[in-house]
Amino acid sequence: MSIAVVGSANMDLVVRQPRPVRPGETMSGTDFSTGAGGKGLNQAVACARAGGRVQFIGAVGADDFGARLEATLRAEGVDVSLLRCVAAPTGIAAITVTDDGENSIVVVPGANADAEFSDADLAAIRSASHLVVQLERPVDLLVQTMRAAREAGTTTVLTPAPVRTDLDDLVALSDVLVPNEGEAMQLSGAPDAEQAAIALSGLAGTVVVTLGARGALVARGGAIVARVAPRFVQPVDTTAAGDTFVGVMVAWLAAGEPWEAALEAATVAASLAVTRRGAAESMPRHDDIVHVLRQA
């Protein structure tokens, strides 16, 4: 089954440094690189590498960054026939990665602020089995997109990041909601991940709260229904680990696999991604994931 991803495409500008910079401090970094990113592009690549048939609906600028991002998606086998080229510059993300593998990110949306929603976009969403969205595109566009998916019977999957508080409509339109621990607590107002998952599952369909090295929680109908065990690795770079998790989970579900298998595959994929540098380039392929699953 096909997967439609409505989301952002950014050029990642990545600096590696020993530790976080203090206010007013100048620090020498240890490495600089550029690479394809944006939560939408990342999730599309993760889906495609995991075997999904993916169409990406997004926007880039008429610049070198935009051309590179389009080439990246094409190389991964993602359908880019609905990728728009607009007047605004391509979005960027300024990322710092410290020696312990943690990252901080500042995003400049650029072309991702484009809010056009065409008949062709609508047709792609209606024909997809799953719609995957994040919050690096205009919220009004995402509400329109998810309503169209709901009307067509397409399963809606929302990653509420970057998190904000005015998301009641989007959460209610989510068949699958995948926040991390902090996002879940901010969305729900609950003091911990478990209570947040329970509260959010009264609004959305299935809620999967990712907990990093502690695995994940799954809630439905106001109750915790599963706890996903972590896979322990030594992280090198945690950039796009959550996007890897979502993309692989959706690819497995779209292939008709049960929830338990999809969550296990997503956990393995995310654990592999954090042992490699970069965003989209760090994501494992289907055979890598299956190899680890068979060993387990």
Predicted confidence (pLDDT) per residue in 243-279, tens digit: 999 999 999 999 999 999 999 999 999 999 999 887 7
Binding-site residues for K(+): 237, 239, 273, 276, 278, 282
CB neighbours of residue 13 within 10 Å: 18
Tell me what the pLDDT averaged over the chain comes to. Answer: 95
Question: What's the token pair of residue 63?
Answer: 């610049």
Based on the residue annotation, tell me whether 288 is a catalytic residue of this protein. no
pLDDT band at 1 (very low <50, low <70, confident <90, very high): low
Predicted confidence (pLDDT) per residue in 73-99, tens digit: 999 999 999 999 999 999 998 989 898
Binding-site residues for ATP: 180, 210-215, 242-243
The whole-number pLDDT of residue 277 equals: 82
- Rg of the chain's alpha carbons, rounded to an integer? 18
The whole-number pLDDT of residue 172 equals: 97
Using alpha carbons only, what angle is made at residue 243 by residues 209 and 283, rounded to the nearest 5 degrees?
130
Predicted confidence (pLDDT) per residue in 102-121, tens digit: 888 888 999 999 999 999 99
At 60, which CATH number?
Answer: 3.40.1190.20
Euclidean distance between CA atoms 62 and 56, whole angstroms: 17
pTM of the model: 0.92
Binding-site residues: 10-12, 38-42, 136, 180, 210-215, 237, 239, 242-243, 273, 276, 278, 282
The total number of structural domains in the chain stands at 1
pLDDT band at 281 (very low <50, low <70, confident <90, very high): confident
Assess contact for 278 and 292: CB atoms under 8 A. Answer: no
Q: Which amino acid is at 176?
A: V
Domain of residue 218, residue span: 2-295
Report the relative pairing of strands 91-98 and 10-17 from DSSP bridges: parallel
The residue annotated as part of the active site, out of 166, 192, 243, 288, is 243
Predicted confidence (pLDDT) per residue in 161-219, tens digit: 999 888 999 999 999 999 999 999 999 999 999 999 999 999 999 999 999 889 999 99
